Amino acid sequence: MDEKVRKRIVMFYLAGIVNAFLGLYVLIEGSAFLGRDTARLLALFFLVFAAVDFWFPSAIKKKWLKEQAQLKAQGEKKT
């Protein structure tokens, strides 16, 4: 896999871990310094972005593999 693509995937996973941690922290401790509804909404926000951060690398990898297969097919047609 291309180094740039691999780095991007790793960064999304790291961002997902951070967002999940922040979401759980706000869910557990948020009502102490925010209103209950505000804390839930903020926790939901972080957890949704964590889910997106964990889903997006698989989409990037699928797209990269598809592009590589197309390049390989084009290379075989030329020879």
pLDDT for the residue numbered 2: 82
Confidence of residue 74 (pLDDT cuts 50, 70, 90): confident
Query: What is the domain range of residue 29?
Result: 3-78
Query: pLDDT per residue over 25-49, tens digit each?
Result: 999 998 898 899 999 999 999 999 9
Q: State the total domains in the chain.
A: 1
Confidence of residue 23 (pLDDT cuts 50, 70, 90): very high
Confidence of residue 79 (pLDDT cuts 50, 70, 90): low
Angle between the N-to-C axes of helices 3-29 and 36-78, in degrees from 0 to 180, rounded to the nearest 10: 170
DSSP 8-38: HHHHHHHHHHHHHHHHHHHHHHGGGTS-HHH
Neighbours of 16 (CB within 10 A): 19
Neighbours of 36 (CB within 10 A): 9
Q: What is the mean pLDDT of residues 57-61?
A: 92
Q: Which two tokens stand for residue 65?
A: 């593999």
